[in-house]
Structure 1
Amino acid sequence: MKLYQLLSVSLLVLTLASCNFTENINVQPDGTGTFALEMDGSGFMAMAGDQALKGLDPAKNKKSIDSTFLFKQIFEEKKDSIAKLAPEQQAALKKLENFVMNIKMNPEAKQFLFSMNTPFKSINELDGVMESMGSLKDLKGKSDKKDNPAAMLSGLGNNNSKLSFSYNGKNFIRKAIVSKEALNKINADSTGMAKMIFASSKYTLKYHFPKAVKSVSNPDAMFSADRKTITVEYPFTDYSENPEKLNLNVVFE
Protein backbone atom coordinates (compact mmCIF):
# COMPACT_ATOMS: atom_id res chain seq x y z
CA MET A 1 0.00 0.00 0.00
CA LYS A 2 1.29 3.45 -0.91
CA LEU A 3 2.28 6.04 1.66
CA TYR A 4 -0.46 8.43 0.54
CA GLN A 5 -3.16 5.77 0.91
CA LEU A 6 -2.02 4.89 4.43
CA LEU A 7 -1.87 8.53 5.47
CA SER A 8 -5.31 9.12 3.97
CA VAL A 9 -6.75 6.45 6.25
CA SER A 10 -4.75 7.85 9.18
CA LEU A 11 -6.16 11.31 8.54
CA LEU A 12 -9.68 9.88 8.36
CA VAL A 13 -9.22 8.24 11.75
CA LEU A 14 -7.77 11.42 13.27
CA THR A 15 -10.63 13.62 12.04
CA LEU A 16 -13.67 11.35 12.32
CA ALA A 17 -13.16 9.31 15.45
CA SER A 18 -12.31 9.61 19.09
CA CYS A 19 -8.77 8.29 19.54
CA ASN A 20 -6.40 7.72 22.41
CA PHE A 21 -3.06 9.50 22.17
CA THR A 22 0.02 8.67 24.24
CA GLU A 23 3.15 10.77 24.66
CA ASN A 24 5.73 8.16 25.60
CA ILE A 25 9.22 9.04 26.89
CA ASN A 26 11.85 6.54 28.03
CA VAL A 27 14.91 8.06 29.74
CA GLN A 28 18.09 6.00 30.16
CA PRO A 29 20.62 6.42 33.01
CA ASP A 30 22.97 8.46 30.79
CA GLY A 31 20.20 10.89 29.82
CA THR A 32 19.63 9.50 26.34
CA GLY A 33 16.30 7.95 25.45
CA THR A 34 13.37 7.70 23.08
CA PHE A 35 10.28 9.79 22.42
CA ALA A 36 7.10 8.51 20.78
CA LEU A 37 3.73 9.98 19.94
CA GLU A 38 1.26 7.13 19.60
CA MET A 39 -2.36 6.99 18.50
CA ASP A 40 -4.80 4.12 19.03
CA GLY A 41 -7.67 4.38 16.58
CA SER A 42 -8.96 0.85 17.15
CA GLY A 43 -12.28 2.24 18.33
CA PHE A 44 -12.78 3.74 14.90
CA MET A 45 -12.01 0.44 13.21
CA ALA A 46 -14.53 -1.33 15.43
CA MET A 47 -17.15 1.29 14.62
CA ALA A 48 -16.50 1.72 10.89
CA GLY A 49 -15.48 -1.82 9.95
CA ASP A 50 -14.72 -2.34 6.26
CA GLN A 51 -15.87 1.20 5.47
CA ALA A 52 -12.61 2.43 7.05
CA LEU A 53 -10.75 0.94 4.10
CA LYS A 54 -13.11 2.17 1.42
CA GLY A 55 -11.18 3.46 -1.57
CA LEU A 56 -8.15 1.24 -1.00
CA ASP A 57 -7.23 -1.81 -3.06
CA PRO A 58 -10.19 -4.18 -2.54
CA ALA A 59 -7.94 -7.20 -3.12
CA LYS A 60 -5.74 -6.18 -0.19
CA ASN A 61 -7.98 -4.33 2.22
CA LYS A 62 -8.73 -7.47 4.23
CA LYS A 63 -5.06 -8.02 5.02
CA SER A 64 -3.06 -6.76 7.96
CA ILE A 65 -0.71 -3.84 7.33
CA ASP A 66 2.47 -3.06 9.21
CA SER A 67 4.36 -0.30 7.39
CA THR A 68 7.26 1.89 8.49
CA PHE A 69 8.40 5.16 6.91
CA LEU A 70 11.44 7.29 7.65
CA PHE A 71 11.01 11.04 7.73
CA LYS A 72 14.48 11.27 6.19
CA GLN A 73 13.07 9.40 3.21
CA ILE A 74 10.18 11.84 2.86
CA PHE A 75 12.51 14.85 3.25
CA GLU A 76 14.92 13.44 0.64
CA GLU A 77 12.06 13.24 -1.84
CA LYS A 78 11.15 16.85 -1.03
CA LYS A 79 14.70 18.22 -0.79
CA ASP A 80 14.23 20.70 -3.65
CA SER A 81 11.18 22.18 -1.95
CA ILE A 82 12.94 22.26 1.43
CA ALA A 83 15.90 24.15 -0.05
CA LYS A 84 13.52 26.98 -1.02
CA LEU A 85 12.12 27.40 2.49
CA ALA A 86 13.16 30.08 4.96
CA PRO A 87 16.00 29.12 7.32
CA GLU A 88 13.67 28.89 10.33
CA GLN A 89 11.37 26.52 8.42
CA GLN A 90 14.31 24.34 7.43
CA ALA A 91 15.51 24.29 11.05
CA ALA A 92 12.06 23.14 12.21
CA LEU A 93 12.06 20.28 9.70
CA LYS A 94 15.60 19.37 10.78
CA LYS A 95 14.21 18.54 14.23
CA LEU A 96 11.99 15.89 12.66
CA GLU A 97 14.44 14.11 10.36
CA ASN A 98 15.17 11.24 12.78
CA PHE A 99 11.51 10.40 13.31
CA VAL A 100 10.19 7.02 12.20
CA MET A 101 6.51 6.59 11.42
CA ASN A 102 4.72 3.27 11.81
CA ILE A 103 1.17 2.32 10.84
CA LYS A 104 -0.42 -0.96 11.88
CA MET A 105 -3.84 -1.96 10.63
CA ASN A 106 -5.65 -5.26 11.18
CA PRO A 107 -9.26 -5.20 9.90
CA GLU A 108 -10.14 -8.59 11.41
CA ALA A 109 -8.86 -7.63 14.86
CA LYS A 110 -10.33 -4.11 14.49
CA GLN A 111 -6.88 -2.67 15.20
CA PHE A 112 -5.46 0.63 14.02
CA LEU A 113 -2.23 1.90 15.59
CA PHE A 114 -0.15 4.88 14.49
CA SER A 115 3.12 6.08 15.98
CA MET A 116 5.97 8.52 15.38
CA ASN A 117 9.14 7.95 17.39
CA THR A 118 12.68 9.23 17.58
CA PRO A 119 15.79 8.69 19.72
CA PHE A 120 17.40 11.59 21.57
CA LYS A 121 20.86 12.15 23.04
CA SER A 122 19.55 14.76 25.48
CA ILE A 123 15.94 15.41 26.35
CA ASN A 124 16.46 19.07 25.47
CA GLU A 125 16.45 17.94 21.84
CA LEU A 126 12.69 17.50 22.22
CA ASP A 127 12.15 21.23 22.84
CA GLY A 128 9.99 22.54 20.01
CA VAL A 129 9.57 19.15 18.35
CA MET A 130 5.79 19.14 18.62
CA GLU A 131 5.51 22.64 17.17
CA SER A 132 7.90 21.66 14.37
CA MET A 133 5.30 19.25 13.03
CA GLY A 134 3.45 22.30 11.75
CA SER A 135 6.30 22.86 9.30
CA LEU A 136 5.42 19.66 7.42
CA LYS A 137 2.82 21.62 5.50
CA ASP A 138 5.58 23.83 4.06
CA LEU A 139 7.34 21.11 2.07
CA LYS A 140 5.74 22.46 -1.10
CA GLY A 141 5.08 25.94 0.23
CA LYS A 142 1.41 25.17 0.83
CA SER A 143 -0.72 22.47 2.39
CA ASP A 144 -1.21 20.38 -0.72
CA LYS A 145 -2.11 17.04 0.79
CA LYS A 146 -2.29 15.18 -2.50
CA ASP A 147 1.28 16.05 -3.44
CA ASN A 148 2.51 16.29 0.13
CA PRO A 149 1.02 13.51 2.28
CA ALA A 150 3.27 14.50 5.18
CA ALA A 151 1.23 17.71 5.41
CA MET A 152 -1.59 15.60 6.78
CA LEU A 153 0.39 15.28 10.00
CA SER A 154 1.21 18.98 10.29
CA GLY A 155 -1.39 19.67 12.96
CA LEU A 156 -0.90 16.54 15.02
CA GLY A 157 1.31 18.11 17.67
CA ASN A 158 0.27 21.73 17.30
CA ASN A 159 -1.83 23.03 20.21
CA ASN A 160 -0.52 26.61 20.08
CA SER A 161 1.92 26.11 22.94
CA LYS A 162 5.69 26.00 23.25
CA LEU A 163 6.71 22.72 24.85
CA SER A 164 10.03 22.11 26.58
CA PHE A 165 11.58 19.34 28.69
CA SER A 166 14.41 19.17 31.22
CA TYR A 167 16.05 16.33 33.14
CA ASN A 168 19.04 16.51 35.50
CA GLY A 169 18.80 13.23 37.40
CA LYS A 170 17.01 14.89 40.31
CA ASN A 171 14.05 16.42 38.54
CA PHE A 172 12.13 15.99 35.29
CA ILE A 173 10.05 18.89 34.00
CA ARG A 174 7.51 19.04 31.18
CA LYS A 175 6.48 22.64 30.54
CA ALA A 176 4.05 24.07 27.99
CA ILE A 177 3.75 27.84 27.70
CA VAL A 178 0.73 29.41 25.98
CA SER A 179 0.44 33.10 25.17
CA LYS A 180 -2.80 34.89 26.04
CA GLU A 181 -3.42 35.58 22.35
CA ALA A 182 -3.00 31.92 21.45
CA LEU A 183 -5.17 30.84 24.37
CA ASN A 184 -7.98 33.12 23.21
CA LYS A 185 -7.66 31.68 19.73
CA ILE A 186 -7.81 28.12 21.11
CA ASN A 187 -10.98 28.89 23.04
CA ALA A 188 -12.54 30.54 20.02
CA ASP A 189 -11.71 27.60 17.74
CA SER A 190 -12.56 24.83 20.20
CA THR A 191 -16.29 24.80 19.59
CA GLY A 192 -18.69 22.94 17.36
CA MET A 193 -17.80 19.77 15.48
CA ALA A 194 -14.08 19.68 16.37
CA LYS A 195 -14.86 19.76 20.07
CA MET A 196 -17.47 17.03 19.76
CA ILE A 197 -15.10 14.79 17.79
CA PHE A 198 -12.46 14.78 20.53
CA ALA A 199 -14.82 14.98 23.52
CA SER A 200 -14.25 11.31 24.37
CA SER A 201 -10.58 11.17 23.33
CA LYS A 202 -7.73 10.86 25.82
CA TYR A 203 -4.18 12.22 25.89
CA THR A 204 -1.85 10.23 28.14
CA LEU A 205 1.65 10.99 29.38
CA LYS A 206 3.63 7.80 30.00
CA TYR A 207 7.20 8.36 31.18
CA HIS A 208 9.79 5.78 32.24
CA PHE A 209 12.86 6.84 34.22
CA PRO A 210 16.05 5.11 35.43
CA LYS A 211 15.29 6.11 39.03
CA ALA A 212 12.31 5.61 41.32
CA VAL A 213 9.97 8.60 41.50
CA LYS A 214 9.50 10.28 44.88
CA SER A 215 6.73 12.69 43.91
CA VAL A 216 4.81 14.08 40.93
CA SER A 217 3.10 17.46 40.75
CA ASN A 218 -0.08 15.87 39.37
CA PRO A 219 -1.91 14.01 42.20
CA ASP A 220 -3.67 11.73 39.67
CA ALA A 221 -0.41 10.20 38.40
CA MET A 222 -0.25 6.41 38.54
CA PHE A 223 2.97 4.54 39.37
CA SER A 224 4.39 1.22 38.25
CA ALA A 225 5.36 -1.29 40.97
CA ASP A 226 8.99 -0.09 40.96
CA ARG A 227 7.88 3.59 40.79
CA LYS A 228 10.06 4.14 37.73
CA THR A 229 7.14 4.60 35.34
CA ILE A 230 4.40 7.19 35.75
CA THR A 231 1.20 7.51 33.75
CA VAL A 232 -1.12 10.52 33.75
CA GLU A 233 -4.30 10.55 31.68
CA TYR A 234 -6.05 13.72 30.53
CA PRO A 235 -9.10 14.47 28.39
CA PHE A 236 -7.88 15.40 24.92
CA THR A 237 -9.65 18.74 25.31
CA ASP A 238 -7.16 19.62 28.06
CA TYR A 239 -4.28 18.96 25.66
CA SER A 240 -5.84 21.05 22.90
CA GLU A 241 -7.48 23.85 24.93
CA ASN A 242 -5.48 24.00 28.18
CA PRO A 243 -1.96 22.72 27.37
CA GLU A 244 -0.55 24.08 30.62
CA LYS A 245 -2.67 21.56 32.55
CA LEU A 246 -0.25 18.89 31.27
CA ASN A 247 2.77 20.59 32.87
CA LEU A 248 4.58 18.15 35.11
CA ASN A 249 7.31 18.27 37.75
CA VAL A 250 8.79 14.92 38.76
CA VAL A 251 11.15 14.52 41.75
CA PHE A 252 13.27 11.39 42.10
CA GLU A 253 14.28 9.53 45.25
Structure 2
Amino acid sequence: MKFIKALTLILLTVCFTNCTIKESIVFSEDGSGSYLLNYDMTEFMSKMKSEMGGGSSSSGDKVMDTTIVFKDIMEKFKDSVAALPEEKRLAMEAVKDMYMKMNMNEAAGVFDFGIGMNFKSIADLKDMGEKIKKVQSLNAQKDQVDAMKGSPLGKFMSPENNGFSYDYSETSFSRTTTLPADWDSSKFDLDENSESDKDKEFMEYFENASYIVEYTFPKKIKSYSIDNAELSNGDKTITYKVSWLDFVKNPKVLDVNLTFANE
Protein backbone atom coordinates (compact mmCIF):
# COMPACT_ATOMS: atom_id res chain seq x y z
CA MET A 1 0.00 0.00 0.00
CA LYS A 2 1.76 3.15 -1.21
CA PHE A 3 0.21 5.36 1.46
CA ILE A 4 1.59 3.25 4.33
CA LYS A 5 5.04 3.11 2.71
CA ALA A 6 5.11 6.89 2.27
CA LEU A 7 3.97 7.42 5.85
CA THR A 8 6.68 5.07 7.09
CA LEU A 9 9.41 7.08 5.37
CA ILE A 10 8.12 10.38 6.73
CA LEU A 11 7.72 9.14 10.30
CA LEU A 12 11.20 7.64 10.32
CA THR A 13 12.57 10.98 9.13
CA VAL A 14 10.69 12.80 11.91
CA CYS A 15 12.02 10.40 14.53
CA PHE A 16 15.64 10.63 13.49
CA THR A 17 16.21 14.26 12.51
CA ASN A 18 16.51 17.51 14.37
CA CYS A 19 13.77 19.95 13.56
CA THR A 20 11.52 22.69 14.88
CA ILE A 21 8.16 21.45 16.08
CA LYS A 22 5.23 23.84 16.28
CA GLU A 23 1.98 23.05 18.05
CA SER A 24 -0.77 25.46 17.05
CA ILE A 25 -4.48 25.79 17.77
CA VAL A 26 -6.82 28.42 16.36
CA PHE A 27 -10.23 28.78 18.04
CA SER A 28 -13.32 30.31 16.44
CA GLU A 29 -16.11 32.16 18.26
CA ASP A 30 -18.27 29.01 18.47
CA GLY A 31 -15.51 26.90 20.05
CA SER A 32 -14.57 25.06 16.87
CA GLY A 33 -11.16 25.44 15.29
CA SER A 34 -8.05 23.86 13.83
CA TYR A 35 -5.17 21.93 15.38
CA LEU A 36 -1.77 21.37 13.76
CA LEU A 37 1.45 19.77 14.97
CA ASN A 38 4.06 20.74 12.38
CA TYR A 39 7.63 19.47 11.95
CA ASP A 40 9.92 21.87 10.08
CA MET A 41 12.95 19.93 8.88
CA THR A 42 14.35 22.57 6.54
CA GLU A 43 17.58 22.73 8.55
CA PHE A 44 17.99 18.98 8.18
CA MET A 45 17.48 19.21 4.42
CA SER A 46 20.13 21.93 4.20
CA LYS A 47 22.61 19.88 6.25
CA MET A 48 21.92 16.75 4.23
CA LYS A 49 22.52 18.53 0.90
CA SER A 50 25.73 20.03 2.27
CA GLU A 51 27.05 16.68 3.48
CA MET A 52 26.23 15.15 0.11
CA GLY A 53 28.41 17.69 -1.66
CA GLY A 54 25.98 20.42 -2.60
CA GLY A 55 22.90 18.44 -3.55
CA SER A 56 21.66 16.85 -6.73
CA SER A 57 20.90 18.39 -10.08
CA SER A 58 17.69 20.34 -10.52
CA SER A 59 16.29 17.58 -12.72
CA GLY A 60 16.45 15.15 -9.81
CA ASP A 61 15.13 17.45 -7.09
CA LYS A 62 11.86 16.30 -5.58
CA VAL A 63 8.88 18.60 -5.06
CA MET A 64 5.84 17.62 -3.04
CA ASP A 65 3.00 19.74 -1.67
CA THR A 66 0.03 17.66 -0.62
CA THR A 67 -2.54 17.03 2.08
CA ILE A 68 -3.68 13.51 2.93
CA VAL A 69 -7.00 13.10 4.75
CA PHE A 70 -7.06 9.79 6.61
CA LYS A 71 -10.81 9.36 6.12
CA ASP A 72 -10.41 9.66 2.35
CA ILE A 73 -7.50 7.21 2.33
CA MET A 74 -9.49 4.70 4.35
CA GLU A 75 -12.32 4.88 1.86
CA LYS A 76 -10.13 4.75 -1.24
CA PHE A 77 -7.99 1.88 0.02
CA LYS A 78 -10.58 0.17 2.23
CA ASP A 79 -9.58 -3.31 1.11
CA SER A 80 -5.92 -2.66 1.88
CA VAL A 81 -6.81 -1.08 5.23
CA ALA A 82 -8.95 -4.08 6.13
CA ALA A 83 -5.95 -6.34 5.44
CA LEU A 84 -3.63 -4.41 7.77
CA PRO A 85 -2.57 -5.92 11.11
CA GLU A 86 -5.22 -5.18 13.74
CA GLU A 87 -3.01 -2.70 15.60
CA LYS A 88 -2.49 -0.52 12.52
CA ARG A 89 -6.09 -0.88 11.36
CA LEU A 90 -7.38 0.32 14.74
CA ALA A 91 -4.82 3.15 14.71
CA MET A 92 -6.14 4.38 11.36
CA GLU A 93 -9.70 4.17 12.63
CA ALA A 94 -8.75 6.27 15.66
CA VAL A 95 -7.25 9.05 13.51
CA LYS A 96 -9.75 9.03 10.65
CA ASP A 97 -10.78 12.64 11.38
CA MET A 98 -7.19 13.85 11.09
CA TYR A 99 -5.05 14.83 8.13
CA MET A 100 -1.39 14.90 7.22
CA LYS A 101 0.25 17.59 5.11
CA MET A 102 3.65 17.48 3.43
CA ASN A 103 5.68 20.18 1.73
CA MET A 104 9.05 19.22 0.26
CA ASN A 105 11.21 21.09 -2.23
CA GLU A 106 14.73 19.71 -2.42
CA ALA A 107 16.02 22.53 -4.62
CA ALA A 108 14.86 25.13 -2.11
CA GLY A 109 15.91 23.00 0.86
CA VAL A 110 12.36 22.98 2.27
CA PHE A 111 10.81 20.04 4.08
CA ASP A 112 7.95 20.24 6.57
CA PHE A 113 5.36 17.74 7.67
CA GLY A 114 2.26 18.26 9.79
CA ILE A 115 -0.46 16.27 11.56
CA GLY A 116 -3.71 18.19 12.02
CA MET A 117 -7.42 18.14 12.61
CA ASN A 118 -10.35 20.49 12.23
CA PHE A 119 -12.44 20.17 15.39
CA LYS A 120 -15.99 21.06 16.36
CA SER A 121 -15.31 21.64 20.05
CA ILE A 122 -12.58 21.34 22.67
CA ALA A 123 -13.92 17.85 23.43
CA ASP A 124 -12.47 16.66 20.11
CA LEU A 125 -8.98 17.50 21.41
CA LYS A 126 -9.43 15.50 24.61
CA ASP A 127 -7.23 12.61 23.47
CA MET A 128 -5.03 14.49 21.03
CA GLY A 129 -1.84 13.20 22.62
CA GLU A 130 -3.06 9.63 22.13
CA LYS A 131 -4.13 10.37 18.56
CA ILE A 132 -0.66 11.68 17.72
CA LYS A 133 0.79 8.46 19.11
CA LYS A 134 -1.64 6.47 16.95
CA VAL A 135 -0.38 8.25 13.84
CA GLN A 136 3.20 7.48 14.85
CA SER A 137 2.27 3.83 15.53
CA LEU A 138 1.41 3.44 11.84
CA ASN A 139 5.15 3.27 11.23
CA ALA A 140 5.82 -0.08 9.57
CA GLN A 141 9.42 0.02 10.84
CA LYS A 142 8.45 0.11 14.51
CA ASP A 143 11.04 -2.54 15.45
CA GLN A 144 13.81 -0.32 14.10
CA VAL A 145 12.48 2.66 16.01
CA ASP A 146 12.21 0.62 19.22
CA ALA A 147 15.78 -0.60 18.77
CA MET A 148 17.02 3.00 18.58
CA LYS A 149 15.46 3.87 21.93
CA GLY A 150 18.34 2.22 23.74
CA SER A 151 20.86 4.37 21.93
CA PRO A 152 21.97 7.95 22.71
CA LEU A 153 19.67 9.13 19.91
CA GLY A 154 16.76 7.31 21.52
CA LYS A 155 17.15 9.42 24.64
CA PHE A 156 16.15 12.52 22.72
CA MET A 157 13.22 11.15 20.76
CA SER A 158 9.81 12.52 21.72
CA PRO A 159 8.61 11.14 25.08
CA GLU A 160 5.93 8.50 24.53
CA ASN A 161 4.71 7.88 28.05
CA ASN A 162 3.25 11.31 28.75
CA GLY A 163 -0.17 12.55 27.80
CA PHE A 164 -1.48 16.08 27.45
CA SER A 165 -4.94 17.59 27.50
CA TYR A 166 -6.64 20.94 26.98
CA ASP A 167 -9.37 22.73 28.88
CA TYR A 168 -11.19 25.69 27.35
CA SER A 169 -14.02 27.82 28.69
CA GLU A 170 -15.35 31.37 28.27
CA THR A 171 -12.91 32.62 30.92
CA SER A 172 -9.79 30.45 30.65
CA PHE A 173 -7.65 27.96 28.77
CA SER A 174 -5.06 25.44 29.94
CA ARG A 175 -2.70 22.83 28.55
CA THR A 176 -1.82 20.11 31.06
CA THR A 177 0.72 17.30 30.77
CA THR A 178 0.37 14.07 32.73
CA LEU A 179 3.54 12.10 33.43
CA PRO A 180 3.76 8.51 34.70
CA ALA A 181 4.43 8.05 38.40
CA ASP A 182 7.88 6.62 37.71
CA TRP A 183 8.97 9.48 35.45
CA ASP A 184 12.73 10.06 35.79
CA SER A 185 14.16 12.98 33.82
CA SER A 186 17.72 11.88 34.62
CA LYS A 187 17.41 9.01 32.15
CA PHE A 188 17.74 11.59 29.38
CA ASP A 189 21.04 12.92 30.68
CA LEU A 190 24.32 12.19 28.98
CA ASP A 191 27.48 11.96 31.04
CA GLU A 192 29.09 15.42 30.83
CA ASN A 193 32.46 13.75 31.21
CA SER A 194 31.78 11.17 28.55
CA GLU A 195 34.47 10.86 25.92
CA SER A 196 32.07 9.16 23.53
CA ASP A 197 32.04 11.00 20.23
CA LYS A 198 28.63 9.48 19.55
CA ASP A 199 27.14 10.93 22.75
CA LYS A 200 28.53 14.37 21.94
CA GLU A 201 27.36 14.14 18.35
CA PHE A 202 23.78 13.40 19.36
CA MET A 203 23.80 16.21 21.93
CA GLU A 204 24.95 18.68 19.27
CA TYR A 205 22.40 17.26 16.84
CA PHE A 206 19.48 18.21 19.05
CA GLU A 207 20.75 21.21 20.98
CA ASN A 208 19.34 23.68 18.43
CA ALA A 209 15.99 21.93 18.03
CA SER A 210 12.99 23.65 19.60
CA TYR A 211 9.30 23.24 20.35
CA ILE A 212 7.05 26.23 19.65
CA VAL A 213 3.50 26.61 20.94
CA GLU A 214 1.03 29.09 19.44
CA TYR A 215 -2.63 29.45 20.44
CA THR A 216 -5.11 31.92 18.94
CA PHE A 217 -8.43 32.79 20.58
CA PRO A 218 -11.44 34.97 19.70
CA LYS A 219 -10.91 36.88 22.97
CA LYS A 220 -8.05 38.97 24.33
CA ILE A 221 -5.70 37.23 26.74
CA LYS A 222 -5.54 38.89 30.15
CA SER A 223 -2.91 36.80 31.96
CA TYR A 224 -0.73 33.75 31.37
CA SER A 225 1.62 31.51 33.35
CA ILE A 226 4.55 31.24 30.89
CA ASP A 227 7.43 33.66 31.56
CA ASN A 228 8.83 33.86 28.04
CA ALA A 229 5.50 34.04 26.18
CA GLU A 230 4.63 36.81 23.73
CA LEU A 231 1.22 38.19 22.80
CA SER A 232 0.27 39.34 19.31
CA ASN A 233 -2.79 39.74 17.08
CA GLY A 234 -4.36 42.27 19.43
CA ASP A 235 -3.44 40.11 22.46
CA LYS A 236 -5.49 37.21 21.07
CA THR A 237 -2.50 35.02 20.18
CA ILE A 238 0.06 33.65 22.62
CA THR A 239 3.39 32.18 21.45
CA TYR A 240 6.21 30.62 23.42
CA LYS A 241 9.23 28.43 22.70
CA VAL A 242 11.27 25.89 24.65
CA SER A 243 14.34 23.91 23.69
CA TRP A 244 13.74 20.35 22.54
CA LEU A 245 16.13 18.99 25.18
CA ASP A 246 14.21 20.78 27.96
CA PHE A 247 10.93 19.42 26.60
CA VAL A 248 12.20 15.84 26.45
CA LYS A 249 13.49 16.00 30.03
CA ASN A 250 10.36 17.69 31.35
CA PRO A 251 7.32 17.78 29.00
CA LYS A 252 5.52 19.93 31.56
CA VAL A 253 7.51 22.96 30.37
CA LEU A 254 4.83 23.32 27.67
CA ASP A 255 1.97 23.56 30.18
CA VAL A 256 0.18 26.88 30.40
CA ASN A 257 -2.76 28.48 32.20
CA LEU A 258 -4.30 31.67 30.89
CA THR A 259 -7.35 33.82 31.47
CA PHE A 260 -9.29 35.99 29.04
CA ALA A 261 -10.16 39.64 29.41
CA ASN A 262 -13.77 40.37 30.29
CA GLU A 263 -14.92 42.34 27.24
Give yes or no for TM over 0.5. yes
- In the alignment, the residues of structure 1 paired with residue 123 and residue 248 of structure 2 have an alpha-carbon distance, to the nearest angstrom, of 23
Structure 2 portions without partners, runs of 5+: 145-156, 191-198
User: Alpha carbons of 1:73 and 1:195: their partners in 2 closer, same or farther (altered >3 Å)?
Assistant: farther
When the two chains are superposed, the root-mean-square deviation of aligned CA atoms in Å is: 3.3
Q: CA deviation at 1:159?
A: 3.6
Contact 1:15 1:197 in 2 (8 A): no
Query: What residue in structure 2 maps to residue 207 of structure 1?
Result: 215
Query: What residue in structure 1 maps to residue 41 of structure 2?
Result: 41
Contact 1:37 1:116 in 2 (8 A): yes
Residue 44 of structure 1 aligns to a residue whose secondary structure is helix
Give the alignment's TM-score, normalised by structure 2. 0.75
Contact 1:27 1:210 in 2 (8 A): yes
Give the alignment's TM-score, normalised by structure 1. 0.77
Query: What residue in structure 1 maps to residue 152 of structure 2?
Result: none
Q: CA deviation at 1:79?
A: 2.9
Query: What residue in structure 2 maps to residue 149 of structure 1?
Result: none
Query: Which AA in structure 2 matches 1:109?
Result: A
Residue 78 of structure 1 aligns to a residue whose secondary structure is helix
- In the alignment, the residues of structure 2 paired with residue 158 and residue 33 of structure 1 have an alpha-carbon distance, to the nearest angstrom, of 26
Q: CA deviation at 1:244?
A: 1.1
The number of equivalent residue pairs is 232
Query: What residue in structure 2 maps to residue 20 of structure 1?
Result: 20
Query: What residue in structure 2 maps to residue 175 of structure 1?
Result: 176
- In the alignment, the residues of structure 2 paired with residue 12 and residue 141 of structure 1 have an alpha-carbon distance, to the nearest angstrom, of 13
Query: Which AA in structure 2 matches 1:198?
Result: F
Contact 1:99 1:118 in 2 (8 A): yes
User: Alpha carbons of 1:116 and 1:190: their partners in 2 closer, same or farther (altered >3 Å)?
Assistant: farther
- In the alignment, the residues of structure 1 paired with residue 214 and residue 68 of structure 2 have an alpha-carbon distance, to the nearest angstrom, of 24
Query: Which AA in structure 2 matches 1:214?
Result: K
Query: What residue in structure 1 maps to residue 237 of structure 2?
Result: 229
Q: CA deviation at 1:188?
A: 1.7
Q: CA deviation at 1:158?
A: 4.8
- In the alignment, the residues of structure 1 paired with residue 14 and residue 162 of structure 2 have an alpha-carbon distance, to the nearest angstrom, of 24
- In the alignment, the residues of structure 2 paired with residue 6 and residue 136 of structure 1 have an alpha-carbon distance, to the nearest angstrom, of 9
Query: What residue in structure 1 maps to residue 133 of structure 2?
Result: 134
Query: What residue in structure 1 maps to residue 196 of structure 2?
Result: none
Structure 1 portions without partners, runs of 5+: 146-155
Whose radius of gyration is greater, 1 or 2?
A: 2
- In the alignment, the residues of structure 1 paired with residue 228 and residue 6 of structure 2 have an alpha-carbon distance, to the nearest angstrom, of 39
Contact 1:239 1:246 in 2 (8 A): yes
User: Alpha carbons of 1:59 and 1:230: their partners in 2 closer, same or farther (altered >3 Å)?
Assistant: closer
User: Alpha carbons of 1:159 and 1:232: their partners in 2 closer, same or farther (altered >3 Å)?
Assistant: farther
- In the alignment, the residues of structure 2 paired with residue 74 and residue 100 of structure 1 have an alpha-carbon distance, to the nearest angstrom, of 10
Residue 165 of structure 1 aligns to a residue whose secondary structure is strand
Query: Which AA in structure 2 matches 1:160?
Result: N
Q: CA deviation at 1:12?
A: 2.9
User: Alpha carbons of 1:67 and 1:61: their partners in 2 closer, same or farther (altered >3 Å)?
Assistant: farther
User: Alpha carbons of 1:142 and 1:47: their partners in 2 closer, same or farther (altered >3 Å)?
Assistant: closer
User: Alpha carbons of 1:119 and 1:158: their partners in 2 closer, same or farther (altered >3 Å)?
Assistant: farther
